[in-house]
Chains A and B, each alone.
Chain A
Amino acid sequence: MVIPSFLILLLVVVIPILLAIQESFKDDDSGSFTLSNYVFLFADKFMRKNIGFTLSLTIVSMVIVILVSYMLAMYLRFNQGKIVDWIKRLYFIPMFIPSVIGTYGMISMYSNHGWLARFVLLAGGDYFPKIIYSYSGILLANLWFNIPFATMMLSSALAGIPNSIVESAKDAGAGRLQILGRFIIPLSYKTMLVTMTFVFMGIIGGFTAPFLMGPNAPQVLGVAMEQMFGAYKEIGRTSATAVFMFVLCSFMGYFYIRSMIQEERS
Chain B
Amino acid sequence: MKRWMKKVFKGKTLVLGGLAMAVALSGCGKASEQAATGAASAQPASTAQADKKDAKPVELNFYFSGSANVKEMWETLAPQFEKANPGIKVKLVHLPDGQAEGAAIDKVLGAKKAGQKSIDIDVFETGLSNLTKGEKDGVWMKMDSTIIPNLSKVDAAYMNDVHQLAVPYRASSVVLAYNSKNVPTPPKTADELYDWIHKHPGKFAYNDPATGGAGSSFVQTAIYNFLPADAVHNADPSVMQQWDKGFALLKELGPFMYQKGVYPKKNQGTLDILASGEVDMIPAWSDMGLEQISKKTLPDTIKLTQIEPAFTGGPSYIAIPAMSEKKEAAEKFINYALTPEAQTVVINKMYGYPGIKWSEMPADLQKKFESVAKGYRTFTIGSLGDEINKRWQREVAGGN
Residue pair A216, B99 in contact (C-beta under 8 Å): no
Interface-forming stretch among A145-153, A180-188, A204-212? A204-212
Give which listed residue, A212, A216, A232, contacts B397 with CB less than 8 A.
A216
How many angstroms from the CA of A232 to the CA of B210 in the assembled complex? 9
Chain B residues positioned under 8 Å from A211 (CB to CB): 265
A230 at the B interface (CB under 8 A):
yes
Residue pair A46, B398 in contact (C-beta under 8 Å): yes
Residue pair A207, B398 in contact (C-beta under 8 Å): no
Given contacts A46-B393, A112-B259, A112-B278, contact A227 B398 (CB under 8 A): no
Chain B residues positioned under 8 Å from A207 (CB to CB): 2-3
Residue of A113, A205, A217 most packed against chain B (CB within 10 A): A217
Residue of A nearest to B3 (CB): A207
* CB proximity of A185 to chain B, nearest CB, Å: 32
Residue pair B210, A231 in contact (C-beta under 8 Å): yes
A92 at the B interface (CB under 8 A):
no
* CB proximity of B309 to chain A, nearest CB, Å: 26
* CB proximity of A97 to chain B, nearest CB, Å: 15
How many angstroms from the CA of A256 to the CA of B386 in the assembled complex? 41
Chain A residues positioned under 8 Å from B265 (CB to CB): 211-212
Given contacts A113-B276, A207-B3, A231-B210, contact A216 B390 (CB under 8 A): no
Residue of B nearest to A16 (CB): B1
As a 0/1 sequence over residues 122 to 145 of chain A, the CB contacts with chain B under 8 angstroms (1 = contact) are 000000001001000000000000
A233 at the B interface (CB under 8 A):
yes
* CB proximity of A64 to chain B, nearest CB, Å: 22
Residue of A49, A113, A216, A231 most packed against chain B (CB within 10 A): A216
How many angstroms from the CA of A130 to the CA of B400 in the assembled complex? 14
* CB proximity of B25 to chain A, nearest CB, Å: 9
B394 at the A interface (CB under 8 A):
yes
Residue of A nearest to B269 (CB): A212
* CB proximity of B241 to chain A, nearest CB, Å: 21
Give which listed residue, B211, B264, B278, contacts A113 with CB less than 8 A.
B278
Residue pair B2, A216 in contact (C-beta under 8 Å): no
* CB proximity of A115 to chain B, nearest CB, Å: 11
Residue pair A217, B398 in contact (C-beta under 8 Å): yes
How many angstroms from the CA of A264 to the CA of B400 in the assembled complex? 51
Residue of B nearest to A104 (CB): B272
Chain B residues positioned under 8 Å from A244 (CB to CB): none
Residue pair A233, B102 in contact (C-beta under 8 Å): yes
* CB proximity of A233 to chain B, nearest CB, Å: 6
Within 8 A of B (CB), among A10-29: 19
How many angstroms from the CA of A205 to the CA of B3 in the assembled complex? 10
Residue pair A216, B393 in contact (C-beta under 8 Å): yes
* CB proximity of A186 to chain B, nearest CB, Å: 34
Chain B residues positioned under 8 Å from A111 (CB to CB): 276, 278
* 30 sampled A-B residue pairs with Cβ under 8 A: A19-B24, A46-B398, A111-B278, A112-B259, A113-B273, A113-B276, A113-B277, A133-B262, A205-B1, A205-B2, A207-B2, A207-B3, A211-B265, A215-B262, A215-B397, A216-B262, A216-B263, A217-B397, A217-B398, A217-B400, A227-B210, A227-B393, A229-B99, A230-B99, A231-B210, A231-B386, A231-B389, A232-B386, A232-B390, A233-B102
Contacts A133-B262, A217-B398 known; 4 new A-B pairs at CB < 8 A: A19-B24, A133-B264, A215-B262, A216-B393
